[in-house]
Chains A and B, each alone.
Chain A
């Protein structure tokens, strides 16, 4: 851990809430940057030479540079002062993916802001420009490794503007969490606990094994079912068509924790996650049976999300 990270750990505020903040000097820290230290050494050397050779213009130059350094410091603080930050919750992700926290920046003081470097701990910086009275969105990517509820770590916003001689930074830890679902493991859906619910011709709808025809694309249809080749041949105004497949059928199944006896908890959760995704994609009605928790078979994105969340938050 370098000194910067250590310092940041010391300085990070404990409770920041979720409300947007406006950066004020109370939360701006400033230290000379590495070029700044070099600059200070240069100015000092120049002062010694100037005194020794009694160079009148040298005094002027050295003092102007000192002034430039000091005014640079003021502007570095000013570059952060008054920016409004608004964090937004990240969409849930699967473990191993990066959670993206959208961060909205608002400039309301009529002054363009330069070189706004956002970073999360141990992540690379990205620099942004914010126009006077403008707004911009910064996507903070947070890599995830483990399932569960991952809190957004402190956000570091640093700047070197205007002269790069100082680093001013601010730390913010909005109380936001991202739900990390277990990393799915693909296994065939269990056959146990299936109860056939074949209902006549209806059953032929919505499978994806054998091609059975075309229909107009509905918003929820997956893109890989679109008949792209056909769409390329038709003109722009005609609607996209999706291929329809028969086979498979709407079944009701219960994805039970006990089906996976003998495996460790995390693998069980991962496989269950994979099942939930498959069952939803295939249009089954599925329920989830976990120790101490049971969800009745249902279908739909809301249900899927509830299942995934239960899997994510399952106590280890």
Chain B
């Protein structure tokens, strides 16, 4: 007895003849298993690699090496289709990693150790990348790692890199969710589209999210972290070391005419106490300040890079200070808190002034003190001048002429000095950087009974012709002197100017002889490099001002300038929510697509018609495509009419049936339409040619325009 249990096919109810799928719509059932498909993995490798790569710049080499071998191992396993390491090996690896981290950093938390640990975790997670859930965890870890990257660096390049990483992130999530059905290009397009559509949300949130002033919890390690910049005391050789650093200390934009370069003395810490070698600040006694402003008034805006100190490096002499700033002893502008993030200040300065004609005796006495047992020869020389009956201004001139006339030279690599550095410098080596000159000068003055002190700070600055910003680098660090003369008060004397006059006028790179270890970037003799640098810095400056500089203060300023007054954070949050909801509704509305009236084939024909419409040719009512193409032959050039007749023939054959209407046919029609467009372009090319030469003026015009917009953000 044989019969099949399954009902024969023809037994089934007569059904609507199933409309079989069109040949051009592949319907691949996507794999449903929670395990990752083989072709999904490269995307996850890519996103984690993109997130990990920048971290190799910041973490110890062994860590990068370990992470790198995880990558290589996992990719090899994937390539060979081998199984992943078992639980024991993974546990051992994580344990070993954690122990190594603790041995190296002594902790697993905090800025540096935390990011390093995350970096390691991300690499190790690859080794258990098996299921969908692992894939999500890995992708999210990679994004977290991006934030770790920002903790260490926030330049424009970083932003671009993370944008690329985000594209990969979107791609890998898309791939996890069925986009494998798409070819690479449209998939990439989807990813870019998602990110672009997310941008309005980002802008809205960035502007409206209430900013908090100060950290939520204190991270103690930050204070310990030393940044480059002037320090709280001046040891020999310190400033010449700093001068080899091309990092930017601050940027200045003068709101009126900039003063003469020789007037650009940016005052940092003032040193009054000398032990024969190192200079230290004096007693922090609050002295009365008598300032007579004479002229040369200028106002400017300073963008100060964080230097973990309180001084503001104001231009001598500050006549109007920003909020939370005051003038401390020695005319140094001080901020209430340490500068731990980039900040923008507005100052007014007077370059011509008279300062403390009346000075307290205590201060004057302190500025005469010298260690008796050091630098004896210098002191003796100064006493000789006094014995010769010279008055203080004459003694100042005498000392300066000593530097001018004797064979002193200006160098970044002065010889090492011993126990009596001033003596050795003045009488033996005679090679030094500004710190040597100011130190020796002040020693001579004090020995001659003239109150004198060392002032450190920055001198000069380089104007970027593209955006008008002055850039002051660490290499502009300088030390000069101040002497107190009766009837004149404290007078600035720059002994370095006697030796290297161009230092003050044109900057350090002009003053130093060739072969000095100056960073390439600030050398005067490389115009191409310099131009590139101008561009790069102008962009970077905008980046700093616009994006990184947006804080509570700027946020308040923006709302005030928009005429909204003092906006409370509750208000901002409600606007934010309303804005987000509006955006979501907008996007949702755009999802509601009407059924297109034209099929893809018809749409391509429409495109061809658009091309022809530009040539003033349109089909008449009732004119068939072929007839239209024939008529066009009389009105346009040969290549165009040939291309059109090809499109028309192909369209008719596909649309009216002699060719199957599938993906391949559509593609060939698409190519024909493209060829048509190309043919039409060659017909009307001359006006389309672009001149690229005008790009630089255009660029600076853009920057100016941006600045105008930005002025709305500036708090009044």
Q: Are A56 and B591 interface neighbours, CB within 8 A?
A: no
Stretch at the interface among B270-278, B548-556, B707-715: B548-556
Task: Give Cα A129 to B175, complex, Å.
Answer: 13
Residue B188, interface by CB 8 Å: no
Chain A stretch 47-106: residues in CB contact (< 8 A) with chain B: 48-68, 70-75, 77-78, 81-82, 88-89, 91-94, 97, 102, 104
Asked whether B151 lies within 8 Å of A53 as measured between CB atoms, the reply is yes
The size of the chain B interface, using a CB distance under 8 A, is 88
Q: How far is the CB of A255 from chain B (nearest CB, A)?
A: 16
Decide if B682 is an interface residue (CB 8 Å cutoff): no
**In the assembled complex, A297 has its CB within 8 A of some CB on chain B:** no
Given contacts A35-B133, A51-B216, A58-B147, contact A63 B159 (CB under 8 A): no
Contacting pair A38 B140 (CB below 8 A): yes
Q: A78-B588, A115-B178 are in contact. List 9 more A-B contacts (CB 8 A).
A: A46-B147, A51-B215, A58-B150, A70-B198, A74-B584, A114-B177, A162-B170, A162-B190, A304-B11
B664: A residues at CB distance < 8 A = none
Q: Is B564 located at the chain interface by the 8 A CB criterion?
A: no
Task: Supply 8 A–B pairs (Cβ within 8 Å), ascending by A.
Answer: A34-B133, A52-B219, A63-B202, A67-B201, A114-B30, A115-B30, A127-B32, A129-B181
Query: How many Å lie between the Cα of A110 and that of B162 in the bound state?
Result: 32
For A117, the closest partner residue in chain B by CB is B32
Stretch in contact with the other chain, from A131-139, A192-200, A257-265: A131-139
Q: Does A108 contact B (CB under 8 A)?
A: yes
A74→B588 contact, CB < 8 A: yes
Q: Which residues of A contact B24 (CB under 8 A)?
A: 131, 134
Interface string of B185-223 (1 = CB under 8 A from A): 000001000110111111001100100100111010000
The reply to whether the CB of A226 lies closer than 8 angstroms to some CB of chain B is: no
Known: A52-B217, A54-B551, A162-B194. A114 touches B181 (CB 8 A): yes
Question: How far apart sit A294 and B432, CA to CA, in the bound complex (Å)?
Answer: 123
| Docked complex Cα distance between A124 and B34 (Å) | 12
Cβ-closest chain A residue relative to B591: A78
Are A124 and B154 in contact, CB atoms less than 8 angstroms apart? no
Contact with A along B363-375 (1 / 0, CB 8 A): 0000000000000
B147 touches A49 (CB 8 A): yes
Q: Which residue of A lies closest to B111 (CB)?
A: A53
Determine if B178 and A161 form an interchain contact, defined as CB atoms under 8 angstroms apart: yes
A35 partner, pick from B136, B198, B549, beta carbons under 8 A:
B136
**Once the chains bind, are A97 and B599 in contact (CB under 8 Å)?**
no
With A55-B147, A68-B198, A162-B179 already in contact, the answer to whether A63 and B216 are too (CB < 8 A) is: no
A52: chain B residues at CB < 8 Å are 215-217, 219
Residue of B nearest to A161 (CB): B177
Residues in chain B near residue A8, CB distance under 8 A: none
The verdict on A129 contacting B584 (CB below 8 Å), with A70-B201, A186-B1 known, is no
Asked if A126 CB lies within 8 Å of chain B CBs, one says: yes
- Most B CB contacts (10 A, CB to CB) among A71, A133, A160 go to A71
Interface check A289, CB cutoff 8 A? no
- Please tell me if the beta carbons of A88 and B550 are within 8 angstroms of each other in the complex: no
Q: With an 8 A cutoff between CB atoms, is B570 at the interface?
A: no
**Is there an interface contact between A56 and B154, defined as CB atoms closer than 8 Å?**
yes
A163 CB, nearest partner CB in chain B, Å: 4
CA distance A281 to B1 in the complex (A): 9
Q: Report the minimal beta-carbon distance from B309 to chain A, rounded to whole angstroms.
A: 18
What residues on A are CB-neighbors of B5 within 8 Å? Answer: 94, 97, 184
Interface size, chain A (Cβ < 8 Å): 89
Known contacts A75-B591, A164-B136; A70/B154 CB under 8 A: no
Q: For residue A25, which residue of chain B has the nearest CB?
A: B588
A223→B200 CA distance, assembly (Å): 65
Report the Cα distance A165→B215, complex, angstroms.
30
Q: A42 with B144: in contact, given A35-B136, A56-B550, A129-B178 (CB under 8 Å)?
A: yes
CB 8 Å contact bits of A225-261 with B (1 = contact, 0 = none): 0000000000000000000000000000000000000
Interfacial chain A residues near B592, Cβ < 8 Å: 81-82
* CB of A39 within 8 Å of the partner chain: yes
Q: Is A128 an interface residue (CB 8 A)?
A: yes
Q: Which residues of A contact B174 (CB under 8 A)?
A: 161-163
Asked whether, in the complex, the Cβ of A278 is within 8 Å of the Cβ of B32, the reply is no
Give the residue name and chain of the B residue nearest to A81 (CB): B591
Instruction: Looking at the assembled complex, report how far the CB atom of B438 sits from the nearest CB atom of chain A, in whole angstroms.
Output: 37
In the assembled complex, the Cα of A250 lies from the Cα of B202 at a distance in Å of 82
Name the 8 nearest CB pairs between A and B, nearest first.
Answer: A134-B25, A67-B201, A115-B178, A67-B198, A78-B591, A91-B12, A114-B178, A136-B27
Which segment of B15-23, B286-294, B490-498, B508-516 sits at the interface? Answer: B15-23
Q: How far is the CB of B223 from chain A (nearest CB, A)?
A: 14
Given A54-B341, A68-B198; A92-B140 close (CB under 8 Å):
no
One of A66, A72, A127 near B29 (C-beta < 8 A) = A127
Contacts of B418 in A (CB 8 A): none
Asked if B656 lies at the interface with its beta carbon under 8 angstroms from chain A, I say no
- By beta carbon, the residue of chain B nearest A119 is B32
Nearest residue, chain B, Cβ from A54: B341
* B11, B195, B588, B595: the one within 8 Å of A64 (CB): B195
A54-B341, A126-B29 known; A70-B580 Cβ under 8 A:
yes
